[in-house]
Every structure is written in structure tokens, then in C-alpha cells.
A and B are shown apart, each in its own frame.
Chain A
């Protein structure tokens, strides 16, 4: 038997706590796919989101990579934006005030070329009102320095995580790259360095060629693959990481509908991020949230905690 699901249905508890960050529901926006919130505010009720994770912010402004920066691929897209952003100071002055109007957790994705840069951004944001958590980007494949080069090296990943933790009281979520042999090892390392939450996956490094002109379709040649194409990879890695660490894990990669999101929750993710799907369906986050609620009602699940990590891997499944 089903019934209409109302907003904030008292029968259904969707709230989750990820490393000290309390979310009213597990639906977050993935960094780089939701701008600074304002871009999607005409289409989405920001107040209903679990959290907004903003576009990656660096210490100094970054121009980003030359175009063309994106290319559609089968069931997804490649991007090589290169972390274009106005820098942390302009972010705090011009972008953050818009998000402060809403009753939503604001997570700032931070990026540095050196450990010291990560620390300095973390310090600045630590004393900034309206920032509720940090997501440490050690996984961008589209920059010369920093990014994935930190996330693919356990020692560097440890240093960045420890540096950021020492510079802030905010919950620290570390976003991992899938472009490694053993993601569990990196996850264990950042947990040991103090990460409160681990999010994964960032994009998978890839490329695409224009055969008529024998040229790469992206000016930077390689980019990061996102979209439904990467969901099975992300899910497999989330499962792997949840088995290796005790801190909460946030699943991201190719989630376009509620069923996708539920897969991640069932596998053990405590929350999820919606990325490229925002581009295709500006209301993807709302549709996913409503779909999760509908599923919980249909399965008589009152608290989302009762769903997380309940994958049945028993022998009765063939």
C-alpha cells in the first residue's frame, strides 16, 4: 500500500549524521555540478537539499583550462574545466551570502596546489560564518599540480588531510579519486590522518578523439568521465571503502535517479551526491529525494539508518 509522501513526513526520518555534520536528508549536490547554488535556485528548493557542495575553491583565483572543456560520451561526459574559480576571498564575499539565506548545510570543496594552500583555505573558511563542512579535493584529474596527484599518493593524501584537520574545527570530508590501484588503502590513510568523512568517487580519467581531424575532443586532451557510465565503478569502490574504514562514506558517481541513490545507500554510503545528472535534469536532486521517501514508505522503513549498509550478500542470492 502506498500513500502520498509529504515534505518532512514525521513518519519518515531521512536525517543523517556524517562525521558531525547533520543533514536533513542524504541528498547532496556534487562539487562542480551545482555552481554556488544560485545557478540552480530557480529550479530547485535549496532548503530541501541535504547539503550544497559548492564548486571547488582555491586560495587564489584560477582561470581554468582553455576550451573546448567538455565532450559528451556514451552515457556520460568528459570534462576538463581545470577548477576555474574566483578564489576563496571572492567566494566568501560574493558567492557565499546567497547560500546563507537558506536552511541548508553548505560544504565548501577546497583545492590547493600545495599542502600549505589547503591549510590556508581551511583556516580562512574555519572562521567564516555559513560554512558547515569542508570537502577536500585531492582527486581532480584536470590540473597540473595538486588534485589527483595528492589523492593517488597515500603519503601526500595523509599530509593534506592532516594539514586541513589541523587548520579547522569543521567536519572534514576527503574526496577520493578512482584513478588508483587500491582505493581502500587511500581511504584507510586519510582516515588515519583524521578525515571525518570520505566521499568517492571523483571522475575517472579518460579521453575522446575527433577522428575526422585526428584531434583530441578536449583542448587539454584528457579529462574526467562522469555520468551514468561510471556508476557501477563508483558503487564497487564505495563497497570496498566501507569495508575498510569506519568513518562515514558518501557515494558519488553517475547517480541520476532514486534507484541509483538507493543502491549506494544499501551498499553502505551514509549520504550521496548528485553530479552530472543536474545538467540533464535540473530537478534531479528533488526527484531523487522524493523517490527515496516513496521507497521508504513502500518498504515501511521509518528511519533511513535502517536502510544504510543492508546489502544482502548472502548465499541465497544467485
Chain B
């Protein structure tokens, strides 16, 4: 067990293209890291100071620990230099795994309905959260209801695992190639009246415009909702102040909070969505 929290050298077991720019990487860790909680992230250090200088934050898609070894699964999309380089890595290549970092989702063992909303790559941490509720929260015996949306049916990733884990999975696609035709937020909005606020907790992850839309849908509703945000990061430990998002607590002046340590999980109602529309 690595108690230092320092980066551990990971060895790639597989790095598989799922579709187009979407990949699933499994990394073997010589010593287990601290058990990552749903919502926490790791920094992947590519150790190529010329091409890629900084680490890259990724949500945890899955973490398996067996005695003194562990594997970590990272579901990722190629969006820039770092992920392009990651996609070129092969079995046996190494990278540094630094973490886990950040605040996890709050868990509610006695809630009746855990409602999950995933957009695009947001399915990665949402799927880990679903598994965690099912396998690790012993007192929980409610329903796990997932709404998962993507551009096309091909882009709906990790469906097998979601279906195996959740009580029900509702899907949407932008082009109507599977499930509801339209945004996952609209699919959920249609079913929102059926949920009793004090028996539900809502978790969401996806592109900023999707989360902003969800915040509008939830206006006037009391259902608690936590969202997981993404932002460019440098240090991942709260030192550089590079990854901020504007938060507003009732009755206070707004301020910039660090996604890496104050988040990445936030209450959807604390975020100023008018200033939080970075890369989508």
C-alpha cells in the first residue's frame, strides 16, 4: 500500500480503442493507492516533458485491488496533445499515477432512489459511483436509476456495466439512433415530477452546457444534486489555483473555488453557471 500519496509507476495492461476517439486504458499499479472514492480523480503523469509537461486529471472508471496489486481503468476521449499521446501508448508502456485527489460524492445509504445523469464521457465517474453504491455501501438497498446520453448509439459507452449495476438505465442520443432523441437533460426533465425530493439524490457529470441546463431544470425543485466538474489543472493538489470555478454560497460574495481540492464534486446550486462554460 502506497501511503505516501506520491505518484506510483503504472504499467499499461491494455489501451483499447472503443470507438473513434474514445479509449479504455487499464493500468497495473505495483502497489495499491489509497482506495479512490467515487468522484475523486487521478493525475496521469506522462513523463514527457517536451511534448506533455503537466499531468492530466482523469476520473476513475474502475479500481480493482487484489492484495498488494491494483488496476485502475481510465475511460478517455482524445481531445488534445496529452490524450492523443495516451492513445498511442501500448501494453507495457509506463505512466505515473498520482492520487486519488479531490472531494468525493457524498453518499446517502438510506435514500430510496439514487438518480444518475451522465452525458458523454461523464459516464466514467457516474458508472464508478453506481458500482460503488451497489458493491460498497452495505446499508444501501434502494434503486439506482441512470440516465445516460451521448451523440449517437455508438458513443454510448460502458452500457453493459451500467445495465448490470443499475435498477434501470434510460438512454438518449442526439441523433435518435438509440433511446430518447435529444439531450439527456430533457429526457430526465420529463421524469423529474415522478421523483419525491426527500427520497432521492441526484448525481450528474457531463459537458458544462449539460450541467448548466440541468441547473435550470432543477430550479424550484428541492431534490439534492451533486455535479462533478472538469477543468484544466496543473498541480491537482490545490497549490497553483489554475483550475478554479466561480461558486456562490447564499448570502455571500461569489469566489473562485479550486476544482481539484474544493471539488471536483460540487452542489449544483453553488456554481455560477453563467461563468462556467469552459470546454464542453
**Which residues of A does B touch, CB under 8 Å?**
32-35, 39-40, 42-43, 55, 63-64, 66-77, 79, 81, 84, 227-228, 256, 276, 278-283
- B237's nearest neighbour on chain A, judged by CB, is A39
Known: A67-B278, A71-B232, A81-B241. A42 touches B53 (CB 8 A): no
**Beta-carbon contact of B6 and A283 below 8 Å:** yes
**Beta-carbon contact of B54 and A279 below 8 Å:** yes
- B235's nearest neighbour on chain A, judged by CB, is A279
A79 to B243: give the CA distance in the assembly, Å: 11
From A42, A63, A71, A76, B255 is in contact (CB under 8 Å) with A63
Q: How many A-B residue pairs have CB under 8 A?
A: 108
A42 to B235: give the CA distance in the assembly, Å: 14
Known: A39-B235, A77-B234. A70 touches B255 (CB 8 A): no
From B53, B231, B234, A228 is in contact (CB under 8 Å) with B53
Q: A42-B4, A276-B234, A282-B98 are in contact. List 18 more A-B contacts (CB 8 A).
A: A33-B235, A34-B239, A35-B239, A35-B240, A39-B238, A39-B261, A40-B237, A64-B241, A69-B232, A70-B232, A70-B234, A72-B52, A72-B232, A76-B53, A84-B256, A278-B235, A279-B54, A279-B55
A79 to B54: give the CA distance in the assembly, Å: 13
**Beta-carbon contact of A84 and B244 below 8 Å:** yes
From B6, B49, B244, A43 is in contact (CB under 8 Å) with B6
Known: A34-B239, A43-B6, A280-B55. A66 touches B275 (CB 8 A): yes
Interface residues on B, range: 35 or more
Determine the chain A residues whose CB is within 8 A of the CB of B232 once the complex forms. 68-72
Tell me if A's interface is mostly helix, strand, loop or mixed.
loop
Determine the chain A residues whose CB is within 8 A of the CB of B242 once the complex forms. 69-70, 79, 81
Report the minimal beta-carbon distance from A172 to chain B, rounded to whole angstroms: 25
**Beta-carbon contact of B238 and A228 below 8 Å:** no
**Beta-carbon contact of B245 and A39 below 8 Å:** no
Can you identify 30 A-B contacts, CB atoms within 8 angstroms?
Answer: A32-B241, A33-B240, A34-B239, A35-B237, A43-B4, A55-B239, A63-B256, A66-B246, A67-B256, A67-B278, A68-B231, A69-B232, A69-B242, A69-B244, A70-B242, A71-B232, A72-B82, A75-B50, A77-B54, A77-B234, A79-B242, A228-B49, A276-B234, A279-B54, A279-B239, A279-B240, A281-B7, A282-B6, A282-B7, A282-B98
**Which residues of B does A touch, CB under 8 Å?**
4-7, 45, 49-55, 81-82, 98, 231-246, 255-256, 261, 275, 278
A76 to B234: give the CA distance in the assembly, Å: 10
**Beta-carbon contact of A69 and B241 below 8 Å:** yes
**Beta-carbon contact of A64 and B256 below 8 Å:** yes
Top 9 nearest A-B pairs (CB, nearest first) are A70-B242, A35-B239, A39-B239, A279-B235, A279-B234, A39-B238, A81-B241, A39-B237, A42-B5
Scoring B55, B234, B237, B261 by chain A CB atoms within 10 A of each residue's CB, the highest score goes to B234
A35 to B231: give the CA distance in the assembly, Å: 19
**Beta-carbon contact of A75 and B49 below 8 Å:** yes
Determine the chain B residues whose CB is within 8 A of the CB of A55 once the complex forms. 239, 241
Scoring A39, A67, A228 by chain B CB atoms within 10 A of each residue's CB, the highest score goes to A67
From A32, A40, A63, A77, B53 is in contact (CB under 8 Å) with A77
Scoring B231, B235, B236, B278 by chain A CB atoms within 10 A of each residue's CB, the highest score goes to B235
A35 to B239: give the CA distance in the assembly, Å: 4
Report the minimal beta-carbon distance from B15 to chain A, rounded to whole angstroms: 21
Report the minimal beta-carbon distance from A86 to chain B, rounded to whole angstroms: 10
- B5's nearest neighbour on chain A, judged by CB, is A42
**Beta-carbon contact of B241 and A84 below 8 Å:** yes
Report the minimal beta-carbon distance from B195 to chain A, rounded to whole angstroms: 32
A32 to B233: give the CA distance in the assembly, Å: 14
